[in-house]
Amino acid sequence: MTVLVTGGAGYIGSHAALALLDGGRDVVVLDNLSQGHRWAVPTGAAFVEGDCGDEDLVRRVIAEHDVTAIMHFAGSIIVPDSVIYPLEYYRNNTVNSRALLQVAVDSGVKHFIFSSTAGVYGEPKATPINEDFALKPISPYGTSKMMTEKMLADAAIAHDLRYVALRYFNVAGADPKGRSGQTSRKATHLIKIASQAATGTRPQMAIYGEDYETPDGTCIRDYIHVSDLANAHVLALEYLERGGESDVMNCGYGRGFSVREVIGAVKKVSGVDFEVELADRRPGDPAALIAAADRIRQKLGWTPVHDDLEDIVRHALDWEQSLKSREVSAA
Ligand SMILES: NC(=O)c1ccc[n+]([C@@H]2O[C@H](COP(=O)([O-])OP(=O)(O)OC[C@H]3O[C@@H](n4cnc5c(N)ncnc54)[C@H](O)[C@@H]3O)[C@@H](O)[C@H]2O)c1
Ligand SMILES: O=c1ccn([C@@H]2O[C@H](COP(=O)(O)OP(=O)(O)O[C@H]3O[C@H](CO)[C@H](O)[C@H](O)[C@H]3O)[C@@H](O)[C@H]2O)c(=O)[nH]1
């Protein structure tokens, strides 16, 4: 009875592995370390270095570890890169997911939890966004995730497999106990970048556009603490284990903060007045993305405990500081 966590050496997967281990589950992490780090795999989890699209390897891992459920985090995640390298994104996010799903079905794994994204909605017609909105992704990244959702839906009809696809809004923060956090080599996420500016890892940062139709002109997003998100995965697994139907669920708190509000919170919590420039809009940024977050609360009984912007920021800052000392000690 082991959970296979693909991408468990990365940001969200390592937090999910921690949540599973904290709940007394056995975990095996499969990660090719293209972005993740061996040290990010939580103590107590078994680790296999390899590709989730390698069917023979995954078949062996499932058999050797008696895997009964899969949480699939492995993937390529940078939206602008997906525009430049679309075929690479379809290979890693769609083709490799197909391979993983094939082995899951062949091996009799019945429960599958998938990392999807609010990016599947594209430019939504209104906000908050509920799960029944049309899927109209505007990037290859969003399309690659939508295609995997479709494969899951079809496979779940044809085979003895049930799934939950979790559509994450803006994931941020770090494990409150300091055991993991966001370490991506190519940081693009706002709270990560602002935390780097506050801790001196980068000299300044920019706001991408101040002329949106929002109260302060900057974009609004629904920031969700990574540990609340990790717990949602554990609850989704329990839901499937007690016979829950396959479903898709938004993961957000149902409220939003503007870029300016986020930067203000990072300055307040850190006590550092770092330099912020004004830059042009970043292509493809919708003005506001807020989740309708009722379904996940109702169906999974999910009750977030870190729904506080300053909490999210504090944990992100603590992690950024700890990364600096890690680099110093590694030098
Ligand atoms: N971070 C976000 O805000 C966000 C938002 C929505 C959805 N997601 C999704 O959540 C998942 C995890 O994202 P993250 O932020 O933790 O990213 P991450 O880059 O930190 O983690 C991804 C991990 O997957 C591994 N990986 C990539 N391709 C692989 C492959 N073919 N085989 C094995 N391992 C592979 C990487 O080495 C890395 O450790 C992704 O699927 C991403 O699309 C993330
Ligand atoms: O240095 C920065 C970084 C970001 N931003 C702004 O901050 C907001 C949030 O940007 P992020 O890059 O942190 O996040 P996105 O909303 O672009 O995208 C993230 O959330 C999406 C869902 O909302 C998808 O899940 C996607 O995979 C994930 O990267 C945007 O308005 C962006 O323009 C800045 O102003 N300056």
Digit-coded pLDDT (tens) for 12-27: 999 999 999 999 999 9
Q: For residue 14, give the ligand 1 atom closest to its CA.
A: 16
SS (H, E, C) the chain: CEEEEECCCCHHHHHHHHHHHHCCCEEEEEECCCCCCHHHCCCCCEEEECCCCCHHHHHHHHHHHCEEEEEECCCCCCHHHHHHCHHHHHHHHHHHHHHHHHHHHHHCCCEEEEEEEHHHHCCCCCCCECCCCCCCCCCHHHHHHHHHHHHHHHHHHHCCCEEEEEEECEEECCCCCCCCCCCCCCCCCHHHHHHHHHHCCCCEEEEECCCCCCCCCCCEECEEEHHHHHHHHHHHHHHHHCCCCCEEEEECCCCCEEHHHHHHHHHHHHCCCCEEEEECCCCCCCCEECECCHHHHHHHCCCCCCCCHHHHHHHHHHHHHHHHHHHHHHC
Q: Is 92 in the pocket of ligand 1 (CB under 6 A)?
A: yes
CATH topology agreement for domains 2-172+222-251 and 190-221+254-330: no
pLDDT tens-digit profile of 235-254?
999 999 999 999 999 999 99
CATH for 2-172+222-251 is: 3.40.50.720
Is it true that domain 190-221+254-330 has CATH number 3.40.50.300? Answer: no
Closest residue CA from atom 2 of ligand 1 = 171
Q: Residue 171 CA: which ligand 1 atom is closest?
A: 3
Render each residue's pLDDT in the chain as its tens digit; 331 residues.
Answer: 899 999 999 999 999 999 999 999 999 999 999 999 999 999 999 999 999 999 999 999 999 999 999 999 999 999 889 999 999 999 999 999 999 999 999 999 999 999 999 999 998 889 999 999 999 999 999 999 999 999 999 999 999 999 999 999 999 999 999 999 999 767 889 999 999 999 999 999 999 999 999 999 999 999 999 999 999 999 999 999 999 999 999 999 999 999 999 999 999 999 999 999 999 999 888 899 999 999 999 999 999 999 999 999 999 999 999 998 877 555 4
Q: How far is the CA of 169 from the centre of ligand 1 (A)?
A: 14
What is the best residue among 34, 61, 90, 139 to mutate for testing ligand 1's pocket, by most ligand atoms within 8 Å of CB? 34
Q: What is the pTM of this model?
A: 0.97
Q: Which ligand is nearest to the CA of 222?
A: 2
ipTM > 0.90 for the complex? yes
| Residue 171 Cα to ligand 2 middle (Å) | 10
Distance (Å) from CA 189 to ligand 2 centroid: 5
CA of 10 to the centre of ligand 1 (A): 6
Name the residue with the closest Cα to ligand 2, atom 32.
208
Domain boundaries, the chain: 2-172+222-251, 190-221+254-330
Residue numbers annotated as active site: 141
